[in-house]
């Protein structure tokens, strides 16, 4: 079991998970929201656990986000205007995700699981930038020139999220070759005719448009902070080397960094999980 993005040793990570779980808000004290997709990750992490009066399941959370993707994302594999948000360019098979959500629910309801208590990100749906490897999916980095680039294994940061029980929904769209900071293909989360910022445009749009709870982006020169600012997302650009870039298509060595984009800074901080016990 590893830290959400940093990859800490098992014993240290176990202690860190216990500390973070203890810091989650009390389920009874969380304001009830009309839509599941409006809860922050820290709230979902509490509500997904037994003993809370508002208890949710990972399957419920997945279905609600998937329903919005179906309604508002538009056609996949469109590097251009698809008429809707176009935040996700490629999705995992829903039946696979549903099975993973049910496994997450089993972990969440088994306190004595041999892996320890389910981590805070267990059952949380994530989007991943199109330049990251997701096992079994093509990674095209915003261009059809990379068609057929099928990933045999996950990028390290994606694998670490999976180890936490997170649900990897699919690839969020990015600018061609991750080179445009204004964004080319997605619609802004607040108004689809406005610029979404780039290059990690889909990762900035998707959490705010309630298509996933959070997303990973990659920055060389503004590609995390610009789409976050354009869409009103909370993001963290980590220090160089803090989060592994293995399995991410490089743009400029010594500049590229991987970071989270979410709806609140406490969510983004939880994802990076960079404070060691």
**What positions carry a catalytic annotation?**
129, 199, 223
Does residue 171 contact residue 89 with C-beta atoms inside 8 Å?
yes
**Cα–Cα distances in Å, from 204 out to 36, 71, 86, 172, 186?**
20, 19, 12, 9, 10
**Cα–Cα distances in Å, from 103 out to 98, 118, 166?**
9, 11, 11
Radius of gyration of the chain (CA): 17
Q: Write the DSSP symbol of residue 257.
A: E
| Distance between first and last Cα of the chain | 15
Does residue 259 contact residue 272 with C-beta atoms inside 8 Å?
yes
Does residue 86 contact residue 73 with C-beta atoms inside 8 Å?
yes
Structure tokens at 86: 């176009």
Three-state DSSP state, 130: coil
Does residue 71 contact residue 63 with C-beta atoms inside 8 Å?
no
What one-character-per-residue DSSP string does 185-232 give? Answer: SSPPSS-TTS---SSSHHHHHHHHTTSSSEEEEEESSSTTHHHHHHHT
Beta-bridge partner residues of 172: 88, 129
Three-state DSSP state, 160: helix
């Amino acid at each position: 079991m590893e830290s959400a993005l940093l990859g800490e040793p098992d014993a240290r990570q176990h202690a860190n998970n216990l500390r973070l779980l203890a810091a989650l808000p009390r389920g009874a004290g969380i304001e009830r929201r009309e839509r599941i997709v409006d809860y922050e990750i820290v709230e979902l992490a509490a509500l997904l656990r037994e003993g809370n009066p508002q208890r949710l399941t990972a399957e419920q959370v997945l279905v609600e986000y998937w329903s919005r993707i179906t309604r508002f994302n538009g056609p996949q594999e469109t590097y251009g205007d698809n008429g809707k948000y176009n935040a996700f360019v490629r999705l995992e098979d829903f039946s696979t995700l549903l099975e993973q959500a049910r496994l997450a629910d089993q972990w969440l309801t088994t306190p004595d699981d041999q892996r320890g208590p389910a981590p805070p990100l267990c059952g949380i749906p994530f989007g991943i930038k199109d330049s990251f490897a997701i096992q079994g999916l093509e990674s095209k980095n915003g261009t059809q020139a990379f068609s057929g680039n099928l990933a045999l294994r996950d990028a390290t940061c994606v694998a670490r999220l999976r180890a936490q029980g997170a649900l990897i929904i699919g690839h969020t769209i990015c600018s061609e070759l991750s080179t445009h900071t204004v964004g080319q293909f997605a619609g802004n989360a607040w108004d689809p005719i406005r610029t979404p910022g780039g290059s990690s445009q889909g990762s900035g749009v998707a959490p705010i448009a309630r298509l996933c709870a959070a997303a990973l982006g990659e920055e060389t020169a503004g590609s995390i902070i610009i789409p976050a600012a354009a869409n009103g997302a909370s993001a963290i650009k980590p220090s160089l080397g803090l989060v592994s870039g293995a399995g991410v298509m490089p743009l400029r060595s010594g500049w590229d960094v991987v970071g989270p984009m979410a709806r609140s800074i406490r969510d983004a901080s939880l994802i990076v999980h960079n404070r060691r016990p």
